[in-house]
Chain A
């Protein structure tokens, strides 16, 4: 039951990532095509554009969601692969523990960066 729930969450996170990461990649890497529709010509990676995104609470919330979904989906996938390679119960427990620690660590670091970036942007 627990495994089915984790797997269902993996699928759900994957579907969410198609939308969230799709938006992120479109904004960051399909600049010229997007500019044809929006008329925007400012470089997306310029500091001013980065600040503008950091000022938006919606963008910050989307970043947190994106980070959480990406970490869960990615680490669950890697966990499955590693458990296939090392399939003893003990190895499974170690892999699970490492995945949780890495996931929570990167998520916490990312959230701190997003929150601090929002504060910095508000003062500039």
Chain B
């Protein structure tokens, strides 16, 4: 007697993930600490840098066409709007690098502190790393300010 294989049941729809805010959740999903906003800015600056990278590779490839084309390209880049754009790239890199150092220390566990009994007032890892965060952000501000000065005196 031939056995019939049962018809394949239709694949169930993927479960709806409730409470998921998507990109809106980046900006606000309750009371975020300052570090969360630094992280959002980290992402935004990172996206900007990724978009800029292929453009930069193409622009610098213009040197293959010779000195005249190169100087012409550099002259185009001296347009005020493009100079502002270039400064924003520098600022994005400086911020991304210093905030990245903070994230790297956090990811590797250096700024989390040792495990301790939950005695009130509770030790919070974010509070432990706050001094490092402040120092790194001041350094980022100083480097961005020096970069702005370099652009102004060019």
Contacts and interface: CB of A to CB of B under 8 A. Distances in A.
Interface string B77-111: 00000000000001001100100110010011000
Taking residues whose C-beta sits less than 8 angstroms from the other chain, chain A's interface range is: 35 or more
Main secondary structure of the interface of A (DSSP, over half): helix
A77 B90 contact: no
Contact of B14 (A11, A71, A88): A88
Given A15-B104, A77-B43, A78-B47, A30 B53 contact: no
A103 to B, nearest CB: 10
Nearest to B93: A25
Interface string B131-154: 000000000000000110111010
A85 B22 contact: yes
7 contacts: A18-B100, A18-B101, A29-B150, A47-B67, A106-B53, A109-B57, A110-B57
B49 to A, nearest CB: 6
A77 B46 CA distance: 8
A87 B14 CA distance: 11
Given A47-B67, A47-B71, A117-B63, A30 B150 contact: yes
Interface of A: 11, 14-15, 17-18, 21-22, 25, 29-33, 45, 47, 50, 54, 67, 70-71, 74-75, 77-78, 81, 85, 87-88, 106, 109-110, 113, 116-117, 120
Contact of A31 (B67, B100, B101, B150): B150
Contact of B107 (A11, A85, A88): A11
A30 B17 CA distance: 48
B50 interface: yes
B61 interface: yes
A17 B82 CA distance: 24
